[in-house]
Amino acid sequence: MAKNLVIVESPAKARTIEKFLGKDYTVLSSFGHIRDLPAKGINIDIANNFEPTYAVSADKTKVVRELKAAAKGAEVWLASDEDREGEAIAWHLAQALKLDPTKTKRIVFHEITKPAIEAAIKNPRTVDLNLVDAQQARRILDRLVGYELSPVLWKKVRTGLSAGRVQSVAVRLIVERERDIKAFEAESSFKVTAIFKHGKEEIPAELNTKLGVIEDAQKWLEGVKTASYTVDDIAQKPGVRSPGAPFTTSTLQQEASRRLGFSVRQTMTLAQRLYENGDITYMRTDSTLLSTLAISAAEKQIKSAYGDNYHKQRQFKTKNSSAQEAHEAIRPTEFSRLSAGDEPGAKKLYQLIWQRAIASQMTEAKIERSEVSISVSTQNEKFIAKGEVLAFDGFMKVYGGGKDDVILPVLKVGDSLEAQTVVATEVFSRGPARFSEAMLVKKLEELGIGRPSTYAPTINTVQTRGYVEKTDLEGKEREVRTLILEKGTVKPENRTEITGADRNKLVPTGIADVTTDFLVKFFPSVVDFDFTAKVEAQFDQVAEGKQAWKTMIGDFYKDFHPLVESSADISRAEVSQAREIGKDPKSGKPIMARFGRYGPMLQRGETESEDKPDFAPLPKDATLDTVTLEQALEAFKLPRVVGKTAEGEEIKAAIGRFGPYVQVGKLYVSLKEDDPLTITEDKARELYAEKLAVEAAKTINIFGKVKVLNGQYGPYITDGKKNAKIAKDVDPATITEAEAEALLAAAPAKRKGGFKRRAAPKKK
Beta bridge partners of 358: none
Which residues touch 640 (CB under 8 Å, ≥6 apart)?
A: 652, 653, 654, 676, 677
The secondary structure element, H or E, covering residue 241 is strand 229-241
Question: In terms of C-beta density within 10 A (0-12 exposed, 13-18 middle, 19 or more buried), how is residue 108 classed?
Answer: buried
Q: How many whole angstroms separate alpha carbon 75 and alpha carbon 3?
A: 6
Catalytic residue (choose from 147, 282, 306, 310): 282
Which residues touch 422 (CB under 8 Å, ≥6 apart)?
A: 192, 193, 194, 221, 224, 484, 485, 486
DSSP track, 107-169: ---SS-SHHHHHHHHHS-B---HHHHHHHHHHHHHHHHHHHHHHHHHHHHT-TT----HHHHH
Beta bridge partners of 189: 427
Beta pairing class for 714-718 and 706-711: antiparallel
Q: How many whole angstroms separate alpha carbon 723 and alpha carbon 728?
A: 16
Our answer to whether residue 282 is catalytic in this structure is: yes
Helix (H, G, I), strand (E, B) or coil at 28: strand
Beta bridge partners of 651: 643
Dihedral over Cα of 267, 273, 277, 281: its sign? positive
Q: How many whole angstroms separate alpha carbon 652 and alpha carbon 234?
A: 76
CA dist list (Å): 70 to 1, 7, 12, 32, 73: 8, 10, 19, 18, 8
Cβ–Cβ under 8 Å, residues 734 and 715:
no
**Position 658: which residue type?**
F
- Among residues 293, 271, 372, 273, which one has the least CA distance to residue 116? 293
Beta bridge partners of 703: 706
Which residues touch 126 (CB under 8 Å, ≥6 apart)?
A: 101, 102, 103, 104, 105, 106
CA dist list (Å): 450 to 170, 442, 498, 525, 556: 10, 11, 36, 15, 17
Q: How many whole angstroms separate alpha carbon 392 and alpha carbon 405?
A: 12
Helix axes 129-156, 549-566, angle to 10 degrees: 0
Residue-wise over 241-273: b if at least 16 C-beta within 10 A, else e?
eebebbbbbbbbbbbbbeeeebbbbbbbebbbb
φ, ψ at 151 (rounded to 5°): -60, -30
Active-site residue set = 282
